[in-house]
Structure 1
Amino acid sequence: MAFLSRSILALSIALSSLHLSAQAQCEVELGHGLIITDDIIRIVDKGQTRVQINNDNQLFIRGYWIDLSNEESLVLAQFSAGIRDTVPELVELATDGVNLGLSAIEQVVEGMSDKEPEVLKTQLQYVERALMDKFKRGDDFFFIAPQSLSKIDDFFTEEISKKIHSAVHGSLGAILVSLGDAFKSREGNIEDRINDMGLRMDIISKEIDKSLQKKAHQLDLKASEYCECLNSLDVTESRLQMIVPSLADFDLVQIKS
């Protein structure tokens, strides 16, 4: 059990360190959700599209097309480009980090038992659902929910980390029952299986830790760049709001400091 406890702790620390290193350098909030595809950007509120930008040059607010001059369209294109340059990469980095952690847990549990406990599947579904409420990507889209980008680390180190911790610990009982059944039926030596389990977890944990540290370094390098980009995007958004005052009702980038 000592092997098991150390390995679970290593997994939790590795996942936490990934996002602590990525703490933003300024207070930036997204006031609304964003859905980004190759051709369309949608600013959404309560599941409804409020602002839509088509092909970086057509603006719709509440479903109504806004006629822009060529000069005004350049400001729209700059605003659209700023969103595309920042948000998809942020979503990718956030989801990659957690997906790696979830995959690692599944590998560890599969190494301990002949089958994955049902409780683990259920708990990991909760983790994935919490993640997708904040960040989601598909083959042809990116989604980010309204949130404080300077507190992304809190979401991962508190909410996601706790859910993963619960998922792993919730599986221990089923794993030990499985090992006990194997021992009773003489399918294998339980001491050898427990030792092998600990060794597997130590090796996997070290590999996960290296991968997450590398990802954490990438996020750390991007943190100040995100801040600069979002500050610049806020300036562009303000210019666009001066051109189209009704756009202020759906203020996207909010700088708090």
Structure 2
Amino acid sequence: MASMDVSAQVSDEHSAARGHCDVELTHGLIITQDTIRIVDNNQTRVQINQGNQLLVRGQWIELDAKETEILEQYNQMIRDTVPELVELATDGVNISLNAIENVVSGLSDKEPEVLKAQLQYVEQALRNKFKRGDDFFYIAPQSLSKLDDFFAEEVSKKIHTAIQGSLGAMLIALGDALESREGNIEERINDVGTRMEIITAEIDKSLKKKAEQLALKSEEYCNCLNMLDNTESKLQKLVPELADFDLVKIKSDLQYSTH
């Protein structure tokens, strides 16, 4: 009977933790094959080389065996979480943006400049949060608990603005192009409007799925990020120079609350 009570308590605590995992990255992170850099205002503040060498503000920090062990754990924990998160966030979004461009270009002879400008704005908003290259990952300072909001609200709104802002210009261009052709211009334009509505709905569905994936991943990462925060705290106690660069912030009043 006692074991059942303990199991129930653990289950309740786990559910509470999942529901109240409020995690922030307070600095940017750049991860390559050999290095991890903690950056602030485009300046590298902390650098880990090969998982076991540490620089703070450009100065080498001599580490003993225990400190090196904790640093290696910290390095590996970052590599186990952040690149996957960046991949998940960026994967598919640029494909959706390219799909919009291709569809619009196919509907008229010329892609409206307003669409091109708006989609570049959407891409920039994404790159400001996440970047992924052939040999690096970047994540900006942000709340990891609100990644789903970023895609379901911010990115979605920007894409809607891009589509709606370009639709009028595209229809005018299409109408001009059809004036010398046979057929009902009004029907053709209405058809374009319908197709754009379908495209918008499909994009919304894709972004909603992305937001749900990120929300689930954030829950999955909650325990990992708590462990990362604990390891960071151990490392800061051993290496006081790191105290000014607290990477992971978890709100203490929400952390694993059982109430």
1:172 to 143, 153, 167: 167
The alignment covers a number of residue pairs equal to: 235
1:245 to 240, 249, 254: 240
Q: For 1:75-224, list aligned pairs within 5 A.
A: 75-186=70-181, 189-191=184-186, 193-194=188-189, 196-197=191-192, 200-201=195-196, 204=199, 208=203, 215-216=210-211, 218-224=213-219
**TM-fit CA distance, 1:187:** 6.5
**Cα deviation 1:209-233 (Å, max 9, x = unaligned):** 6655654554344222211111110
Q: TM-score, normalised by structure 1?
A: 0.81
**TM-fit CA distance, 1:192:** 5.3
Structure 1 unaligned spans of 5+: 1-22
Say which SS state the counterpart of residue 36 (structure 1) adopts. Answer: strand
Q: Which moved more, 1:176-185 or 1:98-107?
A: 98-107
Q: TM-score, normalised by structure 2?
A: 0.81
2:34 to 31, 39, 44: 39
Cα 1:164–1:218 change in 2 (3 A) is closer
**Cα deviation 1:150-173 (Å, max 9, x = unaligned):** 122333333322221211111012
The CA distance in 2 between the partners of 1:211 and 1:123, in whole Å, is: 19
Identity %: 71
Q: Which moved more, 1:40-49 or 1:124-133?
A: 124-133
* Root-mean-square deviation (Å): 2.4
Answer with 1 or 2: which has the greater Rg. 2
List structure 1 segments (4+ residues) > 6 angstroms apart after TM superposition. none
Q: Does 1:231 pair with 2:205?
A: no
Structure 2 unaligned spans of 5+: 1-17, 255-259
Q: Which has the higher contact order (CA 8 A, sep 6+)?
A: 1
1:56 to 27, 51, 54: 51
